[in-house]
Chains A and B, each alone.
Chain A
């Protein structure tokens, strides 16, 4: 295999590893799409 092929195959393998990780461990949804009491709490002060 040429350097190009190996380099890109390494990149593809890393990204595929990411697919496996995400499918195994990432929640289906960002929970704040549903009402999130913690985020509704005004934790922010504002100033001009």
Chain B
């Protein structure tokens, strides 16, 4: 086992890990990140099945999706902080175990309530896994060029996971029962767990202070409320009482979190990180870029299903070129960054996302074929591929090595908030256009009409796009 001598000598460095073990460990870490992010979107194609099998209402469907996203986002900073303090490998393995347990529980849930609870467990496992995995990548690769490539590969798997989730779900549902989309996680996680035991070294911040329980409570509550308000807004309306109340409450709690962290002698999140523009501006760029990426995915999914009449699987397959371009451009992003620099690589990525959205916008009114939107789809994939690796490298690289878990968690929070905002804002704009389609789709599935009134489609067609082919 790598680092088995570590018990005899704490001075053993991660840089002593053999090169081939480092890259093998990266495969394990990327596989884990991939499966966790696939679960962000794989459920969307299964929602109609859940309506039939578990008699889930539209409100319950929303909680099935939201429980994962809320717990995931809420626990991220805590997960990163725990990994820094008590061991990144330890919390990576714990996270994988929790995620696998949650997947089994979800797959065999006999009721909607159990399904919602197990999805929350999966979110908790994901929140422990993601920050730990990125911080281990950051630890393993000390050479700047290697580290940029490794983080690029890790960031690419995040984007790929989001894009291939619906496709994987559609393929599984075509042959197996609905629980298979969760059960498929188990062998992959088991392989990653075993690989991590053998290949991934442990590390932590030996200078970490005492735990920060109040900071943990405030960050969980603040981020959880923020995500809930964002996700709920398209369905209930941005001005609805509960959305405004949750939004204001989240701002108040996050304000209290900032105040607490500023005064604490052992803060969970050092606010000084935000003074470094490589951290704060790169994280903001991620929020804005993922806003466009997830927003584009959302619009294109609706367009392909409702305007072109494709099934969720067929629509997912037509998103595949975006994932392919993202997968090709992401490894090139660090190389481009070395030539033209961080600033221009990130700017090019965002510009490509903007250009792709603009192209699709320009043709969407008259578009009648898939080919009309392909150029924009490819541009958005290219932009995300250029943006995510370099911006992630900047965010994680700007924090001290001992805090890389917290830095990685901050990066993940940016991605979650940006994605949720993109879907919510763009979903709200689209609400009128697809409202009739959604109502018709839900009516065919014996759902109560009331919750659907005025409700736009939510993240990645989670409001039951009806397959037409």
Contacts and interface: CB of A to CB of B under 8 A. Distances in A.
Interface of A: 1-19, 21-23, 25-33, 38-39, 41-48
12 contacts: A3-B430, A8-B426, A11-B295, A15-B353, A18-B284, A18-B285, A22-B350, A25-B277, A27-B342, A30-B398, A45-B10, A46-B12
Contacts of B433: 2-4
Q: Bin the interface of chain B by size.
A: 35 or more
Contacts of A15: 288-289, 291-292, 350-351, 353-354, 357, 383
Contacts of A41: 401
A14 B205 CA distance: 37
A26 B346 contact: yes
B131 interface: no
A44 B343 contact: no
Interface in B188-206: 201-206
B303 interface: yes
Q: Is the interface of A mostly helix, strand, loop or mixed?
A: helix
Interface stretch (B59-67, B117-125, B359-367, B460-468): B359-367
B281 A11 contact: no
B432 interface: yes
A5 B203 CA distance: 49
B203 A45 contact: yes
The 4 tightest CB contacts between A and B, nearest first, are A3-B433, A18-B288, A8-B361, A15-B354
B278 interface: yes
Contacts of A2: 364-365, 433
Contacts of A22: 281, 285, 343, 346-347, 350
A11 to B, nearest CB: 4
B277 A47 contact: no
Nearest to A24: B281
A9 B358 contact: yes
B346 to A, nearest CB: 5
A22 B19 CA distance: 34
Contact of B13 (A14, A18, A44): A44
A47 B204 CA distance: 9
Nearest to B303: A4
A48 to B, nearest CB: 4
A3 to B, nearest CB: 3
Nearest to B356: A12
B295 A7 contact: yes
A11 B426 contact: yes
Contacts of A10: 295, 425-426, 429
Contact of B350 (A18, A43, A48): A18
A26 B425 CA distance: 26
Interface string B141-170: 000100010000000000000000000000
Contacts of A14: 288, 291-292, 422
Given A22-B346, A23-B347, A46 B364 contact: no
Contact of B144 (A18, A32, A44, A46): A32
A9 B292 CA distance: 10
Contact of A48 (B1, B303, B353, B364): B1
